[in-house]
Amino acid sequence: MSDLAARFRKLWDEIAPIGRDAGSGGYLRYSLTEPELRLRDWFRDQAEQRGMPVTEDGNGNLFAWWGDPEAGDAVLTGSHFDSVPHGGAYDGPLGIVSALLAVDELRDAGVTPVRPLAVGAFVEEEGARFGVPCLGSRLLTGALPAERAAVLRDADGVSFAEALGGAPAGARPELLGRFRSFVELHVEQGRALADTPDAVAVASAIWPHGRWRFDFAGEGNHAGTTRMADRRDPMLTYAFTVLAANKEARLRGAHATVGRVSVEPNATNAIPSRVTGWLDARAAEPDTLTGLVEAVHDKAIERARRDGTGVTLTEESATPLVAFDGGLADRLAALLDAPVLPTGAGHDAGVLAGHLPTAMLFVRNPTGVSHSPAESATDVDCAAGVAALARVLGELTC
């Protein structure tokens, strides 16, 4: 194992047990809960060991600075610590750990950056606790007003403001203005690099995507005594809608997933009174995405008429097509001799791309699986990612 791969493993092992579920082997690192707070403490400690002061932006995002935090013209790198339920180890933390190691690499190489370098840890990227993905970067950039974020609630009714220990600060244009560019390193989340000789790629774009809540209302009743003809069962409308989403996505070359559902009263022997399903939909083109969601909604309405149920659709979050800075992507691809590819996954980089030149590096994922304990990356590839990030940061800060 190379020296860098061994150093990666040593640092990685420090966080590997935090928030790991022994049963699934996946991670339960919801933002601002105990495991994520431990990761944030670990981050502060690592920054301190490197003599990097840490600032917080009033929204839950942390920044560790190599250089003067006030100087401006800083290069930002980093990612997030939070996970989806039973998520993989790499989605998020890889970008933060790699950034810390890239700082070490640059220092070992005797590089003194002309511009400050900041390592960021963004809060609630997955939206697994409060429902809105990239919450921290949306707040920082003003894409989501602070008043709306403050009242988002988790499954236990705890608001984001309560979890944060106060109302979020919201848009911080003066802080954002101190950054000249952002580079997020991330594990690749499909099979795009799995069968290629490349350990690292550069991102070209993020598909437009969003989350839509379908509420299906019916009549709760007894499972044993209610004649089949008399039922108004929202589960049927829900089930039909899931199948319709799958079919419509396939027809369009898009992606549609219903990965979360809630049922009331959620009893085996009761016809549900209400079913809520969350649709995650993504497509390469914005029109395809809009057409997909409209078609699924139309099908749901049609079916609800048949089932005697009601259906309402609520858009919970929407992220437009992100085309990363082409000049920067080309420059990094040439520097690293790396391929350039799009992704269907959302990232804080997608939010920041609307405000400053932004790029992403992807590290090969041999299983091609993500948002699952089976997510993977080898230590050797992670070391290649650190080396690539160090080169990029060296180039951008000097």
Task: For residue 80, list its beta bridge partners.
Answer: 122
Q: For 229-235, which contacts have Cβ atoms below 8 Å and span 24 or more sequence positions?
A: 231/271, 231/308, 232/271, 232/307, 232/308, 232/309, 233/271, 233/272, 233/307, 233/309, 234/272, 234/273, 234/274, 234/275, 234/307, 234/309, 234/310, 235/263, 235/271, 235/272, 235/275
| Choice between 57 and 126, CB closer to ligand GLV | 126
Distance CA 346, CA 385 (A): 20
Residue 105, amino acid: E
Answer for which of 120, 131, 168, 346 binds ligand GLV (CB under 6 A) is 346
Q: Quick check: 293 binds ligand GLV (CB under 6 A)? A: no
| 99 near ligand GLV (CB under 6 A) | no
Q: Is 126 in the site for ligand GLV (CB under 6 A)?
A: yes
Q: 277 is in the binding site of which of ligand GLV, Mn ion, none (Cβ under 5 to 8 A by kind)?
A: none
DSSP state of 20: B
Site mask, Mn ion, residues 69-98, x = CB under 5 A? ----------------------xx------
Eight-state DSSP code of residue 309: -
Q: Is residue 133 at the binding interface for ligand GLV, with CB under 6 A as the rule? A: yes
Nearer of residues 291 and 342 to Mn ion, judged by Cβ? 342
- Return the number of the residue (115 or 255) whose C-beta is nearest ligand GLV: 255
Residue with tokens 């549900």: 272
Strands, DSSP E only, in 244-330? 255-264, 270-271, 274-282, 310-319, 322-323
Site map 314..353 versus Mn ion, x via CB under 5 A: --------------------------------xx------
**Least separation, in Å, of the C-beta of 375 and ligand GLV?**
11
Give yes or no for residue 93 binding ligand GLV (CB under 6 A).
Answer: no
C-beta nearest to Mn ion: residue: 91
**Which among ligand GLV, Mn ion, none contacts residue 364 (Cβ within 5 to 8 A by kind)?**
none
**Distance from C-alpha of 273 to C-alpha of 262, rounded to nearest angstrom:** 11
Contact pattern from residue 151 through residue 170 relative to ligand GLV, giving x for each residue in contact according to CB under 6 A and a dash for the rest: --------------------
Residue in 364, 240, 372 with CA at minimum distance from that of residue 301: 240
What residues make contact with ligand GLV under the rule CB under 6 A? 126, 133, 345-346
What residues make contact with Mn ion under the rule CB under 5 A? 91-92, 346-347
